[in-house]
Structure 1
Amino acid sequence: MGTMSTELQALDEETCLSLLRGVPVGRVAWCAEDGTASILPVNFVMDGAAPVFRTAPGSKLDAVRAGRPLTFEADDLEPALRTAWSVLLTGTAEAVTDPSEVERLASLPLAPWPDSPRPFLVRLTPDKITGRRIPLHPGGVSTEHIDPADESP
């Protein structure tokens, strides 16, 4: 089997945001006060260019309240077709407290993690949006048709 080029395509901002609207889970990365980096999955929904997710008290919410930068990542891959994409957003996040904004955001289709109370809504306003895709390559997949009538008993 020959080697296949896996040249990455840079994605424009509009494509990145469109891809994010099609997946329900992303990952949020942040640094704690001591510099320890953490990354956790979150269910999210897009509010324009801003991912919105729910969280509980803890180091993620502490980082948001301290104004530390956050990175948000979401991706999708299809191993059989050897294609994938990944989008990164970096920026600052806020715990949304304005009652009318909480109500508006709560009406968006945001599926919470099951059986875990996450009372705080967080919105990440991106300063930078980047994305990459490994494009679908023609060929490379072979199929065989086996006719059961041709098989010996």
Structure 2
Amino acid sequence: MGGMEAGAIRVMDREECLTLLSMVPVGRVAWARPDGTLVVLPVNFTLDADTVVFRIPPGPILEAIEGGVPMAFEVDDMEPAMRTGWSVLLTGVGEVVRDPAEAGRLERLTGAPWPELEDPVLVRLSLHRMAGRRLPLHPGGVVVERLHREP
């Protein structure tokens, strides 16, 4: 049989993943602590060429980045009523942006972080691997109810 079944998950190419990444303001960065505990932190971010740029507070995530710990970065958008959505998962190694000129350029791109951060650190995550999946619109399954009767 040719083609995909209706509602089958479709793997997205790199270009589609990058387009979707540029359309959402918040993603989740994840890493493992030395004891194996997984941590996931939502961050607002921007896409800059083949990197994701975001600000973090000093602390455990900064220690992980400076230690070269591999990280994952995930963004998604779901529509439960339509049973559709997509997700993009990136893996890579973060780097603290230390060059003042580059930091200034990236600050202008990213704008202000949503939460106020004390002594924020600007991080660039190179996209070593990228995978995206999309669940197409599921036909049917939407029910429309009228709350008021028309005369």
Normalising by structure 1, report the TM-score: 0.87
Q: Which residue number in structure 1 is paired with residue 144 of structure 2?
A: 143
Aligned partners of 2:56 and 2:117 also within 8 Å: no
Q: Distance in 2 between matches of 1:80 and 1:14?
A: 27
> 1:101 is aligned with what amino acid?
E
> 1:124 is aligned with what amino acid?
L
* Mapping of residues 31-110 of structure 1, within 5 Å: 31-110=32-111
Unaligned runs of 5+ in 1: none
Q: Distance in 2 between matches of 1:130 and 1:11?
A: 7
Larger radius of gyration: 1
> 1:148 is aligned with what amino acid?
E
Unaligned runs of 5+ in 2: none
- What SS is found at the alignment partner of 2:39? strand
Q: Which residue number in structure 2 is paired with residue 129 of structure 1?
A: 130
- What SS is found at the alignment partner of 2:63? helix
- What SS is found at the alignment partner of 1:108? helix
Summarize deviations over 1:100-124 as a string: whole Å, max 9, x none.
1101101104340233325210000
Shift of 1:37: 1.2
Aligned partners of 1:43 and 1:110 also within 8 Å: no
Q: Distance in 2 between matches of 1:23 and 1:73?
A: 11
- What SS is found at the alignment partner of 2:24? coil
Aligned partners of 2:52 and 2:125 also within 8 Å: yes
Corresponding residue pairs, total: 146
> 1:75 is aligned with what amino acid?
D
Aligned partners of 1:75 and 1:87 also within 8 Å: yes
Summarize deviations over 1:33-73 as a string: whole Å, max 9, x none.
22221111011111112111001111111110001100000
Normalising by structure 2, report the TM-score: 0.88
Aligned partners of 2:81 and 2:141 also within 8 Å: no
Change in Cα spacing, 1:113 to 1:144, as seen in structure 2 (3 Å) is closer
Aligned partners of 1:44 and 1:111 also within 8 Å: no
Change in Cα spacing, 1:111 to 1:7, as seen in structure 2 (3 Å) is farther
